[in-house]
A = this chain, B = another copy of it.
Amino acid sequence: MTLARRFILDRNLVHRFGIVAVLLLISGLLAATTDSFATASNLTNVARQVSINGILAVGVTFVLLTGGVDLSLGSVVALSGVVCALFAHPGEHALLVPIGMGLLTGGLCGLLNGVLVTRGGIAPFIVTLGMMTVARGLALILSGGKPVADMTPALTDLAGDVGPLPIPLLCFALVALVSWVFLGRFRLGRHLYAVGGNEPAARAAGVSVPKVKLFAYGLCGLLTGLAGVVLAARITTGQPNAGQAYELDAIAAVVIGGTSLSGGVGGVLGTILGVLLIGIINNGLDLLSVSSYYQAVIKGVIIVGAVWLDRRQARS
């Protein structure tokens, strides 16, 4: 019942069917044209590959809902990864230290973004663009421009599986579930929509706009840090130049999922669909061994086409 109501109140789900259709269509095509797509091992594979973008996308959903944007995702992923790796040399610290430091780094970057946006009154685009270059620079400085290697297996194993399920996927799933419940069921979540929907009105209704925004950017940063840790574990190094343009894939996933860039509309469920769509396209095109050149073209066309279909039937 509550679940049902949540679905209804999650305004964007009502017209996410367009994306679902495209998703099913493409999956069907891939299952038909390749003998490897529909295999369990490949689906685990896809799951593993979407996890990082998934965590980022859920995080940035909060920011986009307030009507903001975060371009610093990719660089902060790299920075958190490097920091994590620096503390992850075997036998130096307990496993929690590198993880904690990675999350902390991300969280602090996010909070700083939030402070500059709320107290400083600077456009999120500029703030996070600045953070994008600053974080990248810091990652390069801390790592001396070279990958930070020699990470303890205890950490790199976190990229592995428990039973059939990849641990990164579990992180993504957990993050998504919690965020979904939070946005739908909690006061602060509701306030996020209010701020994004009409900021002055939200303020007039007694919502503390700065608090809400600070929370959104901080949480987004924290999740970016998590993504950084997961990435470092996955590639067993802290790469100062990792995560290039990750923000674009993440934001694309969110917008494909029906969250409006002007804020106030959308939610996590749509974001998950967007993440899956992008992940399946990437996986499928590789399976079909389409030339990299054409991959770019096809990917672009599918994404725009999907959103177009979706919006069209949303209107009708």
Contact = CB atoms under 8 A, between A and B. Distances in A.
A116 B304 contact: yes
Interface in A249-306: 251-252, 255-256, 260-262, 292-301, 303-304
A256 B138 CA distance: 23
- Pick the most buried of A127, A293, A300: most chain B CB atoms within 10 A of its CB: A300
Contacts of A248: 71, 129, 132
Nearest to A127: B304
Interface of A: 71, 116, 120-123, 125-127, 129-134, 136-138, 140-141, 145, 245, 248, 251-252, 255-256, 260-262, 292-301, 303-304, 307-308, 311-312, 315
- Of all A-B residue pairs in the complex, the 5 with the closest CB atoms, nearest first, are A137-B296, A134-B300, A137-B297, A130-B304, A133-B300
Copies assembled: 2
A297 B134 CA distance: 4
A293 B141 contact: yes
A144 to B, nearest CB: 9
A123 B116 CA distance: 27
Given A71-B248, A125-B251, A145-B293, A300 B131 contact: yes
Given A125-B251, A125-B255, A133-B297, A308 B141 contact: no
A258 to B, nearest CB: 10
A260 B262 CA distance: 13
A297 to B, nearest CB: 4
- Pick the most buried of A129, A303, A315: most chain B CB atoms within 10 A of its CB: A129
A135 to B, nearest CB: 8
- Pick the most buried of A145, A296, A315: most chain B CB atoms within 10 A of its CB: A296
Contacts of A245: 245
A140 B296 contact: yes
A18 to B, nearest CB: 12
A297 B138 contact: yes
Given A120-B308, A122-B311, A311-B121, A301 B134 contact: yes
A293 B137 contact: yes
Contacts of A260: 123
Nearest to A67: B262
A83 to B, nearest CB: 15
Contacts of A130: 300-301, 303-304
B297 A141 contact: yes
A126 B307 contact: yes
B125 A292 contact: no
A245 B255 CA distance: 20
A68 to B, nearest CB: 10
B255 A133 contact: no
B122 A304 contact: yes
A108 to B, nearest CB: 15
- Pick the most buried of A121, A122, A145, A315: most chain B CB atoms within 10 A of its CB: A122
19 contacts: A116-B308, A120-B304, A120-B308, A121-B308, A121-B311, A121-B312, A125-B251, A125-B255, A130-B300, A130-B304, A132-B248, A132-B300, A133-B296, A133-B297, A133-B303, A134-B297, A137-B295, A140-B293, A141-B293
